[in-house]
Structure 1
Amino acid sequence: MKKLLLILVGCTLIIALAACGSKTETGADGEKQKVIGVTMNNLSTEFTATLAKGIEEAAKAKNVKVIVNDGEGNPNKQIQQVETFIAQKVDAIIIQPLETEASSPAIEKAKKAGIPILNVNSITTAEPDAFVGSRDEESAELAIDYIAKMTGDKGNIVMMHGRPGQSAEIKRTTGAMDQLKKYPDMKLIAEQTAEWDRNKALNLMQNWLQAHKGQISAVFAQNDEMGMGALKAIEDAGLKKDIIVVSVDAISDALQSVKDGKLDATVFQNAKGQGAGAIDTALKIIAKESVEKEVFIPFELVTKENVDQYVTK
């Protein structure tokens, strides 16, 4: 009896290992599915979770299997996940890089292994096979132009940066600084990172309100999480009528805040569009079709006047 049990356990292990080593599964039509490994930079943020959902929905529509992993804000973890995808012999890899430099080895490892890899939403110094995302400079340009419109092209601005070294932070900073040159009477009087975090932004805004009493005309937060944190600090201080707040991403509670007349504006970044574009591009690369090296999806300014059309997107 004991011998029979050992044989059964052994067979079960062999079957399980065979299943783990298979890179494709048979779809409903009898054809083998393509398998794409996906590593997201941090699924705890609403934007990244929406981006991942866009990838999963597009993959399901194309009968593609995706393995979605969470990098949990750690570029080394993303590199390890890419190494696992390589070992699993997936057909392609999609990465939302956490940092331009620290995430670059993941690109290099995939290319060395001969597996197509593309970046979605963020860039790396190492060059992938393709990039699908948006021009982050554009989001900052739209935000600064709207602030200028609301303040009459003058006043003092503070800017909350995202995580240093991440491409969105770098490019949104560049876009904002370049755009501010067009408005000589608008002055940037303070800038600091709040690392995309709502609570850190709330604390930072409280400090700025104390350090620059009565001097701040507007806040540009490089994402909505920080924008909502800044807004809370401003509301708590009873200063909302005096300070314009604009941020980026158009996450659900930011859209509701715009609708309620609290957040002045957000800039819509089409997470689901980026996700669908990443799947389409990956499949073209797998099929050895020609693809654009860079696929850009435009940002869109969202204010109280047009917010209703974005609430259900």
Structure 2
Amino acid sequence: MRTSKAICGLLLFIGCVLSPWSQAGVVAGISVSDLTNPYFVTMVRSLRDELQTTFGDDVRLLVRSSAYNHPRQVRQLEEFVAEKVDLIFLVASDEYKIGPAVKNIVSQGTPIFAIDVRASGATATITTDNMQAGEIACEGLASGLKTQGNILIINGPQVSSVIERVEGCKLALKQYPHLVVISDSLNGTASIEGGLESMAYALQAYSQIDGVFAINDRTALGAEQAIVQANANTLIMSVDGSPAARDALIQKRKSWLGTATQFPDAMSKEAVKIAAHWLESQDDVDVDVDEMRTEVLIPTKLMTPNNAQSFTAW
């Protein structure tokens, strides 16, 4: 392990702490998609706490946000290598485009653990079971619509998590011949503003929209604003389980049917557990690193107005 003094991270809320891991401090980097999204803020906080629990207090965590910009994320990974990090955690801006950079860094001995989104060539992958999330969300949407009506899918950035949620949703809806997907091409950019803009456009473009599947809660919250403004009778199902969506469900706001809940704490804990095992294995000359590659899928649960109180907010 590299020896280094604890240096505070880039963001004040991440903090830094001092640790006895083989008498040296572990240095880690994490690049996420969007630090304006509470989901990723929770993920980073959980990762920091789990690193401290696992390795002790002398942990240095560098935090970057790619804003879904691929060249920017490549530069961030290169910066982590220049900082001589021991571990990199990555929420990829693009599963395949990031592959060459990931493979190059991993080949030089620095492991990269893909979390939330797959990254080609990563040492390990830990994500929500996004196919299952899309399936249970759209099963719930079908039930809420009594298996008939027009459905709008508000898509998002084409990362693996979003692609798989939409695939899972469509798979669930195929069972119901009287449910029609009128569009899946609108990109709500995974944001409130994007959800509002996409929904406002769709309400003008289509005469009847009975249900919406939004790829995350921020998109859904924006869509809700447009639905309220148009006084439309449209039901929403989403993915995330964010505090804002939980509040909407507890308040039984008119449009909200539910959200397939993600568990960023569980994802971070699993990622650090796998990373720690990887570090320990480096002392074993008989270990085949390629054979250690693994993928962990964390299942989701459907949050509805009937059970939202029982879920713990991020």
Same fold (TM over 0.5): yes
Task: Work out whether 1:90 is the aligned partner of 2:85.
Answer: yes
Give CA-to-partner distance per residue, 1:207-260, whole Å, 9 cap, x none. Answer: 2222223x2110000111110111111112222xx2210111111111101111
Q: Which residue of 2 aligns with 1:285?
A: 278
Task: Work out whether 1:309 is the aligned partner of 2:304.
Answer: no
Task: Work out whether 1:70 is the aligned partner of 2:62.
Answer: no
Give CA-to-partner distance per residue, 1:76-119, whole Å, 9 cap, x none. Answer: 22211211222232222111111112222331121121111110
Is this contact kept in 1: 2:217–2:238, CA < 8 A? yes
Equivalent-residue separation in structure 1 for 2:133 and 2:141 (angstroms): 12
Identity between Structure 1 and Structure 2 (%): 24
Task: Work out whether 1:275 is the aligned partner of 2:268.
Answer: yes
Is this contact kept in 1: 2:242–2:313, CA < 8 A? no
In structure 2, do the counterparts of structure 1 residues 237 and 84 end up closer, same or farther at CA, with 3 Å as the change threshold?
Answer: same
Equivalent-residue separation in structure 1 for 2:21 and 2:276 (angstroms): 18
Is this contact kept in 2: 1:59–1:65, CA < 8 A? no
Give CA-to-partner distance per residue, 1:136-189, whole Å, 9 cap, x none. Answer: 1111101110011111111110000011x3112211121122222111111001
Equivalent-residue separation in structure 1 for 2:21 and 2:110 (angstroms): 26
- Number of positions where the alignment pairs a residue of Structure 1 with one of Structure 2: 288
Task: Work out whether 1:252 is the aligned partner of 2:243.
Answer: yes
Is this contact kept in 1: 2:246–2:308, CA < 8 A? yes
Is this contact kept in 1: 2:19–2:52, CA < 8 A? no
Task: Work out whether 1:58 is the aligned partner of 2:59.
Answer: no
Which residue of the other structure, out of 181, 189, 197, is the alignment partner of 1:195?
Answer: 189
CA drift at 1:20:
9.8
Q: Which residue of 1 aligns with 2:301?
A: 300
Which residue of the other structure, out of 110, 133, 152, is the alignment partner of 1:158?
Answer: 152
Alignment of 1:17-28 (within 5 A): 27=19
For residue 211 of structure 2, what is the amino acid of its counterpart? Answer: A
Alignment of 1:79-158 (within 5 A): 79-124=74-119, 126-158=120-152
Is this contact kept in 1: 2:32–2:90, CA < 8 A? yes
- SS of residue in 2 equivalent to 1:287: helix
- SS of residue in 2 equivalent to 1:122: coil
Q: Which residue of 1 aligns with 2:13?
A: none
CA drift at 1:61:
1.6
Q: Which residue of 2 aligns with 1:15?
A: none
In structure 2, do the counterparts of structure 1 residues 216 and 26 end up closer, same or farther at CA, with 3 Å as the change threshold?
Answer: closer
Q: CA RMSD in A?
A: 2.2
Give CA-to-partner distance per residue, 1:252-310, whole Å, 9 cap, x none. Answer: 11110111112220111111111111111111111118856011111110001111122
In structure 2, do the counterparts of structure 1 residues 184 and 59 end up closer, same or farther at CA, with 3 Å as the change threshold?
Answer: same
Is this contact kept in 2: 1:268–1:300, CA < 8 A? yes
Give 1 or 2: higher helix fraction.
1
Runs (5+) with no aligned partner, structure 1: 1-17
For residue 156 of structure 1, what is the amino acid of its counterpart? Answer: N
- SS of residue in 2 equivalent to 1:132: strand
Equivalent-residue separation in structure 1 for 2:247 and 2:31 (angstroms): 29
- SS of residue in 2 equivalent to 1:153: coil
Is this contact kept in 1: 2:32–2:64, CA < 8 A? yes
Normalised TM-score (structure 2): 0.85
